[in-house]
Amino acid sequence: MYKTDFGPFDGNSWERLCQMCFKQKYGEVGYQEMLASPGDFGIEGFTATGKAFQCYCPDTNYDPGLLYEKQRDKITVDLAKLVQYETEIQQRIGTIQLREWILVTPNFSSNNILKHCKSKEVEYRARNRSLLHPEFTVLVQDIHYLHPYIQHCLGLIHSKLLITSAGVLAEEVENYKNGQSQLIDHALRKNRVRLGQVANLEEKLHKLTARTVQSFLDGSDIINKWQYMFPTAYERFKSLISQLEGEVEEKCLLPCDDYNKLYDEIKNLVTNGISTTFDSLDVSMVRGLAAQVMADWILRCPIDFE
């Protein structure tokens, strides 16, 4: 499986997602899916305006060099099919000339792939094939090309949206702790109350506080990506958390005998609120968002332990 900002995909699930997005994005200009039966002609769909699409999902997250090689080879092999199967393709698309051939892949990590596209573009223009427009163009696009249809289409194929953090380094956690002394003081005070009288209190206190910062930074990365990709959903999320924050502040004003129990109650409140409001989100993303909210409230003062 290839991991993306929107969750993992294999070749089949990637093609299903792409086809749904193409049909929504290009339906008004006559998008037509090209089934790989009776043969694979190097095109998985086309429009009446001359755009042709091919989908490609790597088997796994290769290093940049190997990913480039596999995408390069995919482009080379499938473009050759436009010449090899020119007659068969024309029998299916009629008099349309292909102006653009677009490889849609989850990600590309080397601009060398753009160089390869331009090289192939020059090569195929020079072939003067009747199928290809004189200004035939070869392009590669990543998963964001499917925006803004991707979340809706993920729901249609019963796949949950999963945006993940790029991963926060220990050095970043330490830098945050050193640069946000007031917020860290809040976290240390509240985490000390949660820990109570345990052995190795100071060691566990600093580990727990580091985890608080880690959850905040990881979750913030997820939220920033979500905001960029789906601003409307993000605004709903922000409104929900603002509402829950008021409830939490009130809970924390009341007498409490067990602060860990109170913490767990608040976490369940947040998790259930997010999962109920956004039923299209993967459970891992819900947990990451909830952990970020809890960490934020510990670092600030919506959650407070007296």
How many folded domains does the chain comprise?
Answer: 2
Same domain, 21 and 119: yes
- Cβ neighbors of 219 (< 8 A, separation 6 or more) are 165, 288, 289, 291, 292, 293, 295, 296
- What ranges make up the beta strands (E) of 105-163? 132-141
Same domain, 120 and 35: yes
pLDDT tens, position by position, 5-43: 788 899 998 999 999 999 999 999 999 999 988 888 999
Same domain, 137 and 15: yes
Please give the residue range of the domain that contains residue 82.
2-156
pLDDT tens, position by position, 67-91: 999 999 999 999 999 999 999 999 9
pLDDT tens, position by position, 4-15: 878 889 999 899
